[in-house]
Amino acid sequence: GASLAAAAAVALAAVIGRETYGLVRLATIEKLHQRAAAVLISDDRAESRAVVAELLRIAHANPRLARPRAALTGHADDIIDGADMIKLAERELMAPLDVEARRLVSLAAQRVSVVTAVSPRALIDVLFVFVASLRMIRQLARLYGGRPGALGMISLLRHVIAHLAITGGMAASDSLIQQVLGHGIAAKLSQRLGEGVLNGLLTARLGLAAIDVTRPMPFAALPRPALADLAKDLLRKQDEAE
């Protein structure tokens, strides 16, 4: 009994430690995003170097960023302005991650589109979209350096939904969907395929909001991924499937 109690205590401590670490890591990335945005306005050179140092520390665990880290470190002394330092760090460290993030969002949108187009039950559609969205958000968070646990995912999902509400993302999605499906494409698709495209586009918009929330830097030097581009990819995949 004592052994079981000790094992349970150790397991509980491990779970609490993992959840706490995940929440702290997400909070660190969120704060880093805010600090970088502030430097873009204030052009504070000292603060920009502190932000870059924190970014390098987070990026150290990502092997795909080994060369960008070296390039950023090599050019850091050549930059004087704080805003330019932040933009350089974004170009070097975020560019390869943004490419992968767009791929993850595009794959999730395509998967949701295909499954909901062939699924016979609405309940299956809802469950699959929910699970696929959670998986996508977790992948994006890990890609940009977060380590969300169960509590971290709840907090992250709340932030993503709040970001959508603030930016009017769903309204923008509705406008784009009407434009995309209104130019003769809806007539070419069956009702189920049309519903699949709609669900895929909404998943893509959720993914773009998740990128904004999980990315440790604001978009300044690099272009923000556009829903229109993901919509083109999704429709092209539907054409190939047909």
Q: Distance (Å, rounded) from C-alpha 140 to C-alpha 213?
A: 10
- Residues 89-136: tens digit of each pLDDT: 999 999 999 999 999 999 998 888 888 877 767 777 788 888 898 999
Q: Can you tell me the distance from the alpha carbon of 110 to that of 64, in angstroms, rounded to the nearest whole number?
A: 25
Write down the pTM of the prediction.
0.81
Q: Where are the domains of the chain?
A: 2-241
Q: CA–CA separation, 110 vs 140, rounded Å? A: 16
- Helix %, strand %, coil % of the chain (to 5): 85, 0, 15
CA triplet 164, 168, 172: central angle to 5 degrees? 110
**Whole-number Å distance between alpha carbons of 148 and 66:** 23
- pLDDT tens, position by position, 169-219: 544 455 555 555 554 444 444 555 667 777 888 888 889 989 998 999 999
Cα 85 to Cα 77: distance, rounded to the nearest angstrom: 9
Distance CA 15, CA 216 (A): 25
